[in-house]
Structure 1
Amino acid sequence: MTDATLHAGQFATLLIMAVALGMDAFSLGIGIGLKGIRLRDVLRLSTIIAVFHVIMPLGGIYAGHFVSGLLGHVATMAAGVLLLLLGGHMIYSSLKGESVQSIDYRSSVGTFLFAFSVSIDSFSVGVTLGMFEADILLTVLLFGFFGGLMSVLGLLLGRRVSENLGGYGEALGGAILLIFGLLFIF
């Protein structure tokens, strides 16, 4: 394979993962949007979520580099298992109806708790990507952009549609991570 093919494949993988991780922000954004949210709050909350979608995977990538050095050749299997567990948890949570929608996003502490809660999955995926020496700048830019974009879309869409779409969005994101986990293992 040529370098261009490898870079295109890595970009496509990171793009799909960024969208999958943004589904959590999207689905929970719908729940908040259903309760009513001002446009100024949509912008504020989405910006903070985007920042967390940069910080969390960045920390995860550095942790992944460390873990990769410890695990050596077992890192690929560990990364695949981590994605399987994360994807399965996202699907389980969405089907069970668990969410953090009770957090008051209007307060500073609530905003940060909400942003942290929808970005924590990015840390785990960052650990996996760190084991594979993924492009750090491309990863954090894609994750941040799609974390912010998906939260804006969820918040705005929540103002107009039913609550059922949110759970399906998170389940879809979990299914995508499950597929990548299986690909890494096999």
Structure 2
Amino acid sequence: MIEASLQAGQLLTLLIIAVALGMDAFSLGIGIGLRGIAVFDILKMSALIALFHILMPLMGMFTGQYVSTLLGGVATTVAGGLLLLLGAHMIYSSLRGDAVQSINHRTIWGMLLFALSVSIDSFSVGISLGMFAADVAITVLLFGFFGGVMSILGLLLGRRVGTSLGEYGEACGGVILFTFGILFIL
């Protein structure tokens, strides 16, 4: 009886962490969706984000306690810096128009950059969970599922709102990413 309640408590904790980590993907999705994105690109990017939300905590869980003390805050700061740069670049390119080439989220490098920026904090969470001997399979599957689903929801919401914002959509998306970058760093 006690072990069943401990397992239920661990599952609930993992669900809450998965949703919290998925919120980064959701907010990024809104920012990118505001620029306009095709449905096929939504599926590709969400699948890549889900994959990164599986791989990053998996690597973190196997890295262990030593690295946790070194990289715990650094991973969040790096993720915040990436979001700051992406957001600033989106704002700048929307204001400058065609004179500046923005980061293309349709390319593999653009998708990798966006997926990394929202899943790097999963690495440090994975390190922490590795110290507590969390079930690896359940953990990474939950993280991947919620990262993918929440990125789809954010991309679709941003796409819908972006059509009504027109040319200001990219600037609004950049402001969202920039704001989340500041919040990560603080």
Any conservation in 2 of the 1:26–1:166 contact (CA below 8 Å)?
no
Q: How far apart, in 2, do the equivalents of 1:170 and 1:2 lie?
A: 40
Partner of 2:61: 61
Any conservation in 1 of the 2:75–2:124 contact (CA below 8 Å)?
no
1:141 and 2:141 are equivalent in the alignment: yes
1:105 positional shift = 1.2
Of residues 69, 73, 98, the one that matches 2:84 is 98
Query: Percent same amino acid at aligned positions?
Result: 54
Amino acid in the other structure paired with 2:57: P
Q: 1:99 to 1:160 in 2, by over 3 A?
A: farther
Aligned residues: 158
Deviations 1:52-79 (A, max 9, x none): 1000000000012xx2xx69xxx8xx59
2:86 aligned counterpart, secondary structure: coil
Using structure 2 for the length normalisation, give the TM-score: 0.71
Structure 1 unaligned residues grouped into runs of 5+: 175-186
Q: How far apart, in 2, do the equivalents of 1:170 and 1:89 lie?
A: 11
Partner of 2:42: 42
Q: 1:99 to 1:30 in 2, by over 3 A?
A: farther
Using structure 1 for the length normalisation, give the TM-score: 0.71
Partner of 1:29: 29
Q: Which runs of 4+ in 1 moved over 4 A?
A: 85-90, 162-167
Larger radius of gyration: 2
Any conservation in 2 of the 1:41–1:106 contact (CA below 8 Å)?
yes
1:105 aligned counterpart, secondary structure: coil
Q: How far apart, in 2, do the equivalents of 1:86 and 1:161 lie?
A: 34
1:160 positional shift = 2.5
Q: How far apart, in 2, do the equivalents of 1:146 and 1:99 lie?
A: 25
What value does the CA root-mean-square deviation take over the aligned residues? 3.4
Matches within 5 A, 1:77-92: 82=72, 85=73
